[in-house]
Structure 1
Amino acid sequence: MEVLKAVEQIITRQTAPGLSAAWLHDGVIETSILGVAATEPQVLPLHSGMLYDLASLTKVIGTTTVFLQAVAEGRVKFDTPLQQLLPTFPHQTTFRQALTHTSGLEGYIPHRDELPAPALKQALITQLKVTAECDRQVVYRDVNLLLVGWALENLYGESIQPLITRRVLKTLGLQQATFQPDPQRCVPTTYDSEAGLRRGVVHDPKAAILGQHSGSAGLFASLQDLITFTQFAFGQRQSPAWPATFSQLGQDQTRAHLGRTIGWDLRRDAGGRTWLYHTGYTGTFWLIQPQTQAALIVLTNRVHPQVNDDFLTVRDELIANLMSARS
């Protein structure tokens, strides 16, 4: 399987206007930059080094990594209840449950996207209930990583986004990754004639409200930033800030063996190897196999000018074909 050739289907099938991708394998880094950054209200060229709204990849680069650092420092454990650091949180949900999306937490917050940040945070901490899904089912919800972020805020005495910036982005040398990007360097997301072009402003509504208190989305980064992070995962780069606990992520960390680890989804290839996998709503996805040192990074803006759901079909076919080809 020619991996980057397969990735080009995202453009040829018109499911995103542009992409920046990297395929790391056998000590080689192949990259591809295709298409344009925007089509509306005018065509914008796509250049190397442009920043993408990573959406939920923020969870694994940022919040999960800070948590793993805290575990490596002996400050928390996988099964530490969030309540130890969030006293007003009424449940015994653990970091493990939140980070594997097996918490069972759910609830309806009226007018959620219209609440100011303090009210939204308070509602998400105090108004959710634990359902029978707990430990029995993976149900992916942003609130799990928001809660982890707020617990880490209380642990370190700093808002989660500055915490990620200091402990991950700066210490690992992710030189372009930022929560406060220059819009002119960013690949746009949505466009409509009334709201205009969204560029350099986070697409996710909860992250937009919560600002520096959002550990679920909000990070903008370049392809090179994700390549650099991947090289740490491979052990090709070293830093005292890199959590030794990352090596545990190849194991299923759910109680009922549901196929998730701390922060990441797990995918198994035809050769029986486990890959770390995560996606982002804006059209980002990332696969890492630390033992064979193979990885696929794909950054797109499939939400420009409006959300393209056909992208998900192309992405899922691509992942399935890659996993079946890696025998």
Structure 2
Amino acid sequence: MDTTEQTARIVAGNAVVRPALDAMITAGIMPGAVYAILDGDDTYIQVLGQAATAPVPLPLDAGMFYDLASLTKVVGTTPLFLRAVQDGLLGVDQPIKDVLPEFTAPHVTFRMALTHTSGLDGYIPHRDELPPDELRHALLTQLHETAGTGHVVQYRDVNLLLVGWALAKVYGDPIQRLITARVLPAFGMRTNATFSPDVQRTVPTTYDTEGGLRRGVVHDPKSAILGADSGAAGLFANIDGMVQFAHVTFGRVQQIFLHENWAEKLQRDFAGGRSLGFDLLEGPVSHRQWLYHTGYTGTFMLLDPTAHRGLIVLANRVHPVVHPEFLDARDRLIPRFLSATESA
């Protein structure tokens, strides 16, 4: 691979990413960010801003762990599901009810859950106040299929919670323990991704005078209740861990956990314009489908396993409070990055 071309693409991508993230920090949308731009063997990592601003400023360095939020779905739960398929324990088009008989939506399959086309809907009173067993029972029994089941994309955390519970059933351990014992070591991420981070090495999320500083504890309320039984959120990682995950998806890190080129096989539409676990974004020049996923806290990842290119951003848009304007800024950044990177 031509290293001159790699460098040019990274420079072009950074010319989009750095100003956009700097502007978000200046506007107070987030206190800081750590990001990586990848192209083949080249990786450019940059640290911007601070880890926190309240109640006092906290310095940020590249080794700090971020609450990945929903990136947990694709870094941990999706690879483990693919392994379960490989092991003959689960099938992509198998109804979830086959594995979780208490589940009351008989036509919802693993494909629907992983592509967020399950169409599950329903209201659970006081959902974020229920104890773990009651929350799990409610999510299994109080959601129903709709006209959109199997057809319409509606992103819901419950989809990957269901997948995680099924994986726990077939492997005999809670999903977070399975990810810790199987996925992270296999991907070489044992030291830079965890469900139990060192608080002092973790970027804080929310802060208020009543609740204080939330640090080292998952931000997502359902995952905070469910603990080890949540495959939808809960994983913390630093930028080295996420770069390692990217290189695993590129096939540049040798592993025997999944078949070769497993991530390239995800670069196709499995349903509703989505892959298993990932969203898909078409490259404007290559017309390949990039794997894309975001996390509520402000994290996001964009990977092309075929060309070995990517962007990973670890940011914290929920500190000290949630900043909705982050979403528009992120959504403007992504197509500009794709255009700059593929055109360079």
- TM-score of the two chains, using structure 2 as the length reference: 0.92
Q: Which residue of 2 aligns with 1:158?
A: 173
Distance in 2 separating the partners of 1:308 and 1:7: 19
1:133-186 Cα shifts (integer Å, max 9, x gaps): 112210000000000000110010100000010111122211221101111010
| Structure 1 segments unaligned to the other structure (5+ residues) | none
**CA contact under 8 A between 1:65 and 1:243: conserved in structure 2?**
no
SS of 2:152 mapped into structure 1: coil
Distance in 2 separating the partners of 1:81 and 1:253: 16
Aligned residue runs from structure 1 range 120-131, under 5 A: 120-131=135-146
1:183-240 Cα shifts (integer Å, max 9, x gaps): 1010000001110000000000000000000000000001111111111111111111
Give % identity: 53
- Establish whether residue 45 from structure 1 lines up as the match of residue 59 from structure 2: yes
1:243 offset after TM fit, Å? 4.3
Distance in 2 separating the partners of 1:111 and 1:208: 15
SS of 1:154 mapped into structure 2: helix
Q: Which residue of 1 aligns with 2:323?
A: 308
Which of 118, 122, 131 is the equivalent residue of 1:103?
Answer: 118
**CA contact under 8 A between 2:53 and 2:320: conserved in structure 1?**
yes
Distance in 2 separating the partners of 1:82 and 1:198: 35
Which of 215, 219, 235 is the equivalent residue of 1:219?
Answer: 235
**CA contact under 8 A between 2:111 and 2:276: conserved in structure 1?**
yes
Distance in 2 separating the partners of 1:155 and 1:212: 16
Which of 231, 246, 258 is the equivalent residue of 1:230?
Answer: 246
Q: Which residue of 2 aligns with 1:11?
A: 22
**1:275 is aligned with what amino acid?**
W
**1:252 is aligned with what amino acid?**
D
**1:293 is aligned with what amino acid?**
H
- Establish whether residue 321 from structure 1 lines up as the match of residue 321 from structure 2: no
1:75-130 Cα shifts (integer Å, max 9, x gaps): 22210111111011122211000000000011110000000000000000111000
The CA RMSD over aligned residues, in Å, is 1.2
| Structure 2 segments unaligned to the other structure (5+ residues) | 1-10
Change (3 A) 1:243 1:194: farther
Which of 246, 269, 275 is the equivalent residue of 1:261?
Answer: 275
Distance in 2 separating the partners of 1:246 and 1:139: 23
1:230-284 Cα shifts (integer Å, max 9, x gaps): 1111111111113444332011001xxx210000000001121210000000000
Distance in 2 separating the partners of 1:26 and 1:208: 37
**2:21 is aligned with what amino acid?**
I
- Establish whether residue 143 from structure 1 lines up as the match of residue 158 from structure 2: yes
1:3 offset after TM fit, Å? 2.0
Aligned residue runs from structure 1 range 174-323, under 5 A: 174=189, 175-244=191-260, 245-254=262-271, 258-271=272-285, 272-323=287-338
Distance in 1 separating the partners of 2:181 and 2:187: 9
**CA contact under 8 A between 2:32 and 2:48: conserved in structure 1?**
yes
| Structure 1 segments (4+ residues) deviating >3 Å | 242-247
SS of 1:22 mapped into structure 2: strand
**CA contact under 8 A between 1:82 and 1:94: conserved in structure 2?**
yes
| Pairs aligned (count) | 324
Distance in 2 separating the partners of 1:223 and 1:290: 18
